[in-house]
């Protein structure tokens, strides 16, 4: 067998290996940038929702029976999500905010005086409209994150993902309100 | 000239040069080099089809109501206000791709197919999902795996037609742009992709692709082993076959 042929085989195998890893690298980079784009797409709506918190606190403050701690925590979360830059921390903050806001917005059922409060009703409508938009974009964001997480954990992609320090990312949670089925 | 025709030209040039070199120098290594060259070029050949199939595994599907501008993948059913008349048949459709091939015989008596007529028309249409509807640009739109409709042949002429009908579940990858407040999907110039296919076709592809990859790997290994065996020096001593690698 000629030496040239052996060289060809070796070059060919090296080439295939390089091409294989370049493909994985490009795929991982694209998946990562997709998650960033998806987050940028939803972040603006999440911030708009967070900006409604001071109004909510103002309205609910008058009804002293409602837990002050929850409102205090919501205010803290709003400040925190404006200050943090890490995407995962932001997602965690928004997830906690989503749970608390769901509880606060549902509280009006127990307070007849809130049902007739125009400010609260207007606020509830604004938040509800925002939640509808967030719901669409959250689905898109969660799908991007899911594709990315699978991409970084499947073999052999995870070898390169580890080298590139690609960590798992958190999903945005779905509220209990959205999960609830009220029947027909 | 698009990327595909450039790389295809390059492919033909490399193969021609290597074959000429083989006949000039009569080296077996050059045969291998020809196949290697063809394989390498095919790996780098950036067809829109390949790019589309790659991107559809990476991109998440967007809801039409909340489309972000830029490269997007959407899925929904097709709808069109003014359907067009296809070249074959009378069932109106959104788009058709009509081709006439002629079977020609060369000097050596080998038959080959030659494209002698082509016509592609797309009516303005939109794609709608549960959340809304978006218009699709008809410029540079490529179809993938659309069904053939009423193809036939007369003598040595073959008439084929693929069509896109309304209310078909499709998957589209393109660039979302805002044109005077109206969202539209058009060709993404960076990735060079603007393809549409039926959801059923892409589901089949996703299902069978891993099997196809295994087949390629298996065939590749068989080829490699065969090349080693064929090219190795063989000695036969007392009913014993000895390979020298």
B131 touching chain A per CB within 8 A: yes
Which residues pair with residue B183 across a beta bridge? B178
Q: What is the mean pLDDT of residues B10-30?
A: 61
Distance CA B220, CA B42 (A): 15
| Domain total of chain A | 1
The per-residue pLDDT string of chain A (184 residues; one tens digit each, 9 = 90 and over) reads 567 777 777 887 888 888 889 989 999 999 999 999 899 888 888 888 888 888 888 877 776 566 678 888 888 888 888 888 888 888 989 888 888 888 777 776 677 777 777 887 888 888 888 888 888 888 889 999 999 999 999 888 889 899 888 889 989 887 666 555 554 4
Domain ranges of chain B: 1-46, 53-217
Centroid of chain to Cα B193: 12
CB A169 within 8 A of CB A35: yes
ipTM beyond cut 0.85: no
Query: What sign does the dihedral A84-A88-A91-A96 (CA atoms) show?
Result: negative
Q: Any residues with CB less than 8 A from the CB of A142 and at least 6 apart, and which? A: A171, A172
In a domain, A115, yes or no: yes
Q: Is the CATH code 2.40.50.140 the one for domain B53-217?
A: yes
Contacts with A1 from chain B: Cβ below 8 Å:
228, 231-233, 244-245
Which pLDDT belongs to residue B46? 62
Q: Give yes or no for B23 touching A (CB within 8 A).
A: no
Q: Which of A12, A41, A143 sits opposite B61 (nearest CB)?
A: A143
Q: Is residue A127 part of a domain?
A: yes
Burial of A159 (0-12, 13-18, 19+ CB in 10 A): exposed
Q: Is residue A183 part of a domain?
A: no
- Domain carrying residue A110: 30-177
Q: What's chain A's Rg over C-alpha atoms?
A: 24
CA B161 – CA B149 distance, rounded (Å): 6
A48 CB near a chain B CB, below 8 Å?
no
Residue A132 lies in a domain: yes
Residues of A in contact with B219 (CB under 8 A): none
Nearest of A29, A24, A174, A13 to residue A102 by alpha carbon: A174
**Is residue B173 a contact partner of residue B55, using CB atoms and an 8 Å limit?**
yes
Q: How many other β-carbons are positioned within 10 Å of the β-carbon of residue A122?
A: 12
Note whether A136 and A42 are within 8 A (CB): no
* CA nearest neighbour of A172 among A130, A144, A132: A144
Q: How confident is the model at residue B1 (pLDDT cuts 50, 70, 90)?
A: very low
Q: Could you read off the pLDDT of B98-143 as tens digits, one per residue?
A: 999 998 887 777 888 889 999 999 999 999 998 899 999 999 999 9
Report how far residue B52's alpha carbon sits from residue B173's, in angstroms, rounded to the nearest whole number.
7
Side-chain-facing half-sphere of A72: CA atoms under 13 Å: 5
> CA–CA separation, A124 vs A133, rounded Å?
14
CATH number, domain containing residue A88: 1.20.1440.20
The runs of H, that is alpha helices, within A51-156 are 53-61, 68-83, 87-106, 112-115, 118-153
Q: What confidence tens digit (pLDDT) does each residue in A74-84 have?
A: 888 888 888 88
Phi and psi, residue A143, nearest 5°: -65, -40
A23 domain-assigned: no
What is the rounded average pLDDT of the residues B205-232?
A: 85
Residue A184 domain flag:
no
The C-alpha of A1 sits at a distance from chain B's nearest C-alpha, in angstroms, of: 5
Q: Which of A146, A103, A127, A142 is nearest to A45 (CA)?
A: A127
């Amino acid at each position: 067998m000629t030496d040239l042929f052996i060289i060809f085989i070796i070059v060919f195998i090296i080439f295939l290996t390089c091409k294989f890893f370049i493909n994985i690298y490009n795929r991982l980079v694209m998946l990562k940038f997709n998650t960033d784009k998806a987050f940028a797409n939803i972040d603006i709506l999440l911030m708009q929702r967070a900006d409604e918190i001071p109004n909510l606190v103002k309205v609910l403050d008058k009804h002293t029976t409602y837990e002050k701690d929850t409102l205090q925590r919501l205010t803290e979360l709003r400040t925190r999500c404006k200050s943090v830059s890490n995407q995962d921390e932001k997602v965690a903050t928004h997830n906690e905010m989503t749970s608390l806001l769901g509880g606060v917005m549902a509280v009006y059922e127990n307070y007849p005086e809130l049902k007739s409060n125009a400010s609260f009703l207007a606020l509830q409508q604004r938040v509800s409209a925002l939640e509808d938009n967030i719901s669409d974009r959250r689905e898109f964001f969660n799908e991007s994150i899911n594709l990315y997480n699978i991409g970084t954990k499947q073999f052999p992609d995870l070898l390169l993902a580890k080298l590139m320090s690609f960590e798992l990312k958190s999903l945005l949670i779905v509220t209990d309100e959205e999960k609830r089925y009220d029947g027909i | 000239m698009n990327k595909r025709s450039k790389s295809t030209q390059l492919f033909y040039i490399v193969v021609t040069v290597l074959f000429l070199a083989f006949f000039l120098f009569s080296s077996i290594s050059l045969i291998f080099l020809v196949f290697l060259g063809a394989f390498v070029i095919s790996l780098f050949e950036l067809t829109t089809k390949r790019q589309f199939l790659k991107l559809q595994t990476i991109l998440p599907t967007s809801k039409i109501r909340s489309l972000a501008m830029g490269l997007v993948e959407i899925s929904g059913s097709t709808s069109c206000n003014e359907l067009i008349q296809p070249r074959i048949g009378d069932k109106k459709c959104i788009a058709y791709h009509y081709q006439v091939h002629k079977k020609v015989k060369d000097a050596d008596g080998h038959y080959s197919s030659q494209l002698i007529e082509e016509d592609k028309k797309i009516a303005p249409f939109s794609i709608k999902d549960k959340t809304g509807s978006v218009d699709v640009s008809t410029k540079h739109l490529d179809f993938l795996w659309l069904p053939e409709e009423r193809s036939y042949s007369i003598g040595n002429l073959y008439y084929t037609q693929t069509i896109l009908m309304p209310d078909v579940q499709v998957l589209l990858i393109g660039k979302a742009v805002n044109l005077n407040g109206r969202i539209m999907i058009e060709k993404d110039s960076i990735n060079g992709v603007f393809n549409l296919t039926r959801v059923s076709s892409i589901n089949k592809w996703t299902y069978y692709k891993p099997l196809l990859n295994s087949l390629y790997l298996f065939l590749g290994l068989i080829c490699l082993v065969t090349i080693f065996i064929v090219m190795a020096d063989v000695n036969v001593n007392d009913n014993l076959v000895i390979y020298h690698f």
